[in-house]
């Protein structure tokens, strides 16, 4: 029973850390999106 509780607490901790780090405007997902937008803008400004 104790091992099951420890496993569940570890899983919950990992999920909470993932959502805080990866999601949101200040997270990894937001930074990748903004970097992609900047690259698209720079590419569109290149004249052939």
At 1-48, the pLDDT tens digits run 999 999 999 999 999 988 888 886 678 888 888 899 999 999 989 877
What is d(CA 9, CA 13) in angstroms, rounded to the nearest whole number? 6
Question: pTM for the whole thing?
Answer: 0.56
Read off φ and ψ for residue 47, nearest 5 degrees. Answer: -95, 135
Token pair 């590419």 in the structure block, residue: 43
């Amino acid at each position: 029973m104790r091992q099951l509780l420890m496993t569940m607490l570890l899983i919950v901790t990992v999920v909470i850390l993932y959502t805080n780090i990866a999601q949101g405007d200040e997270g990894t997902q937001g930074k990748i999106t903004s970097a992609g937008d900047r690259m698209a803008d720079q590419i569109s400004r290149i004249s052939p």
